Amino acid sequence: MNIYFDNAASTPIDPEVLEAMVECLRQSSGNPSSIHTHGREARVLIERARKQVAKLMGTSPSEIFFTSGGTEADNTVLLSACLNLHRSHIITSAIEHHAVLHTAQYLEKRHGIPVHYVHLLEDGSVDLDSLEDLLKKYPNAIVSLMEANNEIGNLLDVSVAGTLARSHGALFHSDTVQTVGHKKHDLKNTPVDFIVASAHKFHGPKGVGFLYMNAEHPLPPLLHGGSQERNVRGGTENVAGIVGLAIALEKAITNLERDRAHITLLKQTLHRGLQETLGDILCNGTSGDPEKSLYTILSVGMPPSEDNELLLFNLDIEKISVSAGSACTSGTNIGSHVLQAIGAPENRGHLRFSFSRMNTLEEVQQAIQTMNQIFSQQ
């Protein structure tokens, strides 16, 4: 049995989503910008999806903009806020996804916009005092702090950070790629200016996502061309992808509580099972704390071993797909910037197990058994 525990990287597409997308690709031949019947039919599909997404996110359709995914949306926010809205500083953290970090670093290098990194507490949580200090110095900043870290699952209270940022006059962006579809958002009542989502993280298709832009801070376009997405993002829309995204989000939010309970049980069972069978494991960041980490991610440092580098390979041979997170800085392995930033020990092999509603307890038991076998042979 092949086991897939890499859902933070991408989730399997939901069969209903796939069916609706195939139907859409078959039936919808028009360009949504065309004014004839075929075009209007495609346009109706997009606007219906936009309404559906807006309702699920607790906001209005005019604040939802479809993109090619999380990376494009993160880039749009940072580039447009700095280059078009003249935000002169970026405040972020060292454990953001590269979609944010590399964009910020590009802006610093090529456009001279200084990037300031908030201090992280020992468990990788954002130090809010440090955020406040930076905001006092650089109120004209855009702040970009993720709601849940994709490697270690650390959670940020976006309402607290957003309130702080806005109280100093900064713009507040949160990369919510790992939380949309896994938590209920109520954007009208949340102090954020921008958030982003990616459909393939909640059983939708790859290559489509959205950007929420608070109406108070409209961003000028980054992609110039047609007037699609109300002039914010030129380019013919990915109609089937957008349809799939909306259905996937609807299903995720409708079944949220049930799925959360199931996935939480999987995570806890694996955590306990590894502790009981291997003993000397450690959870990275807040990953082992159910209150402070995303329930879909368990990041563990395995017992120190000579064969750390073979761990992922051995698991793959046993048909278990997980993701590595190496803290190693030497040789060709450049390691995980997140594990390095939180000071994860380099003598351990680090694994990220990430779950979805499609995983089962049997798979977790199998993974525990396999890990036990691998470590007892070492």
Residues engaged in binding ligand PLP (CB under 6 A): 69-71, 74, 97, 99, 146, 150, 175, 177-178, 198, 209
Nearest residue (CB) to ligand PLP, 75 versus 314: 75
- Min dist CB 316 to ligand PLP, Å, is 20
**CB of 308 closer than 8 Å to CB of 281:** no
Nearest residue (CB) to ligand PLP, 178 versus 356: 178
Q: Are strands 350-354 and 297-301 parallel, antiparallel or unpaired?
A: antiparallel
φ, ψ for residue 246, nearest 5 deg: -65, -40
Residue by residue, DSSP assigns 214-228 as -TTSPPPPSB-SS-T
- Min dist CB 221 to ligand PLP, Å, is 19
CA 275 to chain centre: 27
**CB of 325 closer than 8 Å to CB of 351:** yes
**CB of 201 closer than 8 Å to CB of 170:** no
Q: How big is the CA angle at 87 (ends 82 and 90), to the nearest 5 degrees?
A: 80
Residue 295, classed as helix, strand or coil, is: coil
Nearest residue (CB) to ligand PLP, 153 versus 335: 153
φ, ψ for residue 279, nearest 5 deg: 75, -80
- Min dist CB 366 to ligand PLP, Å, is 25
Is 24 an active-site residue? no
Nearest residue (CB) to ligand PLP, 69 versus 288: 69
- Min dist CB 378 to ligand PLP, Å, is 31
Residue by residue, DSSP assigns 45-93 as HHHHHHHHHHHHHTS-GGGEEEESSHHHHHHHHHHHHHHTS---EEEE-
- Min dist CB 146 to ligand PLP, Å, is 6
Nearest residue (CB) to ligand PLP, 70 versus 288: 70
User: What residues are labeled active site?
Assistant: 328
